[in-house]
Amino acid sequence: MSDRNPLASLPRIDDLLARAGEMTEAHGRPMTTEALRRTVAEARAALRAGRDVDTDAQTLLESARADLAARRPGPPRPVLNATGVVVHTNLGRAPLSAPAREAMIDASGYCDLELDLGTGERGSRGARLAPLLADACGAQAGIAVNNAAGALVLSLAALAVGREVLVSRGELVEIGGSFRLPEIMAASGARLVEVGTTNRTRAEDYLDAGDDVAMILSVHPSNYRIEGFSEAPALGALAEVAARRGVPLAYDAGSGMLQTEAHRWLGDEPSIPGALAAGADVVIASGDKLLGGPQAGLLAGRSDLVARCRAHPLARALRLDKLRIAALVATLEAHLAERRSEIPVWAMLDASHDALLERAEHLARSLDGQVVQGMSVVGGGSAPGREMPGPVVRLDVAAPDEVARRLRTGAPALLARVEDGAVWLDPRTLAPSEDETVVSLVRIALA
């Protein structure tokens, strides 16, 4: 029996580093050294615990490489979306239009973010965005911050700090990531007063509630529905109550839709201009859902209320950076110029059955699949329960979960659905220019 100390089999860090040229080049010598030290330390601890450990240098180098890959995953990778979920939260919600992407590139260097080029004096970063947002929303004024939750916190802090805000019990939502409306309200400094019941709230429930009311807040159920024995007041009725009580009505519209006309797939999804026309004094919405722009929180409404929000210290803490301002300006300009088709979300929603069928048939022929009737969804907390029928491609393959994994880890990544023992590709959420890439990626995954 050998008395040799098993720890002696561990190679020296300097020896490993001498063989880690690829990692050093990719991650730098200090980071590579630290990864090797962590790997050797873990192996040392395992040996001391009496476990079998492969102390071969190549094995340790591979472990260090995996450690660095986990700690340095790099920037977000592009993904081709064949899931049929248009506003896919896990994929960054709305894909930006080509003009929006170009605007971000143009603004990525030095730009006139806060400079008036005509006078050479300091300008305002909101000057180019505020009038566009107001015009697009049909509002007296508007501002944009980093996301819709930020816009809600800002409005509560600026308009209701230390005072009461009336909210229906049926609208005390959780907006994702365990962020709940009561917690947001507490963080803003406003005091929540619940009215009505979970399933039934009437306008008159708001008339006598509270002792020091500063605001009535209504929240659109963006990602859930209460059905059956339920009732909720129309926004116009709430506006009348707010006027009688002399307080503003704030409405969280959720999706950021600007179109007031009905859309075949969106049902009764509210629009920002529609909510303002119905009597809301301030409307809050997201910029990266049905607006089709970058992540942003839109706040539009009465000029005096928006001015109070703009002047609040939180407005600076929540303000947009130059890249998102550039993308948001380009997106709003497209809406105002009635160029909705250049915004990917709307191109997907408005895609004709014939165009989708032609693309699905091409994919099916190229991949030995079949075209079947499927369902796409809007997603992203918009139009809950609404589905969009259309042609999709079904691929009956062996080990569909493994094929989907290969597609996810390909270059570029392709995200498909796995249902009913098959892989499904939905052309609605793929750009037509991506079809041939999809064919190539699927063939590689099946090879």
Q: What is the pTM of this model?
A: 0.90
pLDDT in tens, the chain (447 residues): 455 677 888 999 999 999 999 999 999 999 999 999 999 999 999 999 989 889 999 999 999 999 999 998 889 999 999 999 999 999 999 999 999 999 999 999 999 999 999 999 999 988 899 999 999 999 999 999 999 999 999 999 999 999 999 999 988 887 665 678 888 888 899 999 999 988 889 999 999 998 999 999 999 886 666 666 778 889 999 999 999 999 999 999 989 999 988 898 998 899 999 999 999 999 999 999 999 999 999 999 999 999 999 999 999 999 999 999 999 999 999 999 999 999 999 999 999 999 999 999 999 999 999 999 999 999 887 777 789 999 999 999 999 999 999 999 999 999 999 999 999 999 999 999 999 999 999 999 998
- Distance from C-alpha of 286 to C-alpha of 155, rounded to nearest angstrom: 14
HEC-encoded secondary structure of the chain = CCCCCHHHHCCCHHHHHHCCHHHHHHHCHHHHHHHHHHHHHHHHHHHHCCCCCCCCHHHHHHHHHHHHHHHCCCCCCCEEECCCECCEHHHCECCCCHHHHHHHHHHCCCCCCCECCCCCCECCCCCCCHHHHHHHHCCCEEEEECCHHHHHHHHHHHHHCCCEEEEEHHHCCECCCCCEHHHHHHHHCCEEEEECCCCECCHHHHCCCCCCEEEEEEECCCCCCCCCCCECCCHHHHHHHHHHHCCCEEEEEECCECCCCCCCCCCCCCEHHHHHHCCCCEEEEECCCCCCCCCCEEEEECHHHHHHHHHCHHHHHCECCHHHHHHHHHHHHHHHCCCHHHCHHHHHHCCCHHHHHHHHHHHHHHHCCEEEEEEEEEECCEEEEEEEEEEEEEECCCCHHHHHHHHHCCCCEEECEEECCEEEECHHHCCHHHHHHHHHHHHHHHC
Q: Which residues are bridge partners to 122 per DSSP? A: 115
Q: Which of 167, 311, 170 is nearest to 228 (CA)?
A: 170
- Location of structure tokens 């994919």: 363
Beta bridge partners of 252: 219, 284
CA distance 152 to 250: 9
Calculate the CA 242 to chain-centre distance. Answer: 32
Distances (CA, A) of 385 to 175, 269, 326, 353: 17, 11, 33, 21
Q: Which residues pair with 394 in a beta bridge?
A: 370, 424
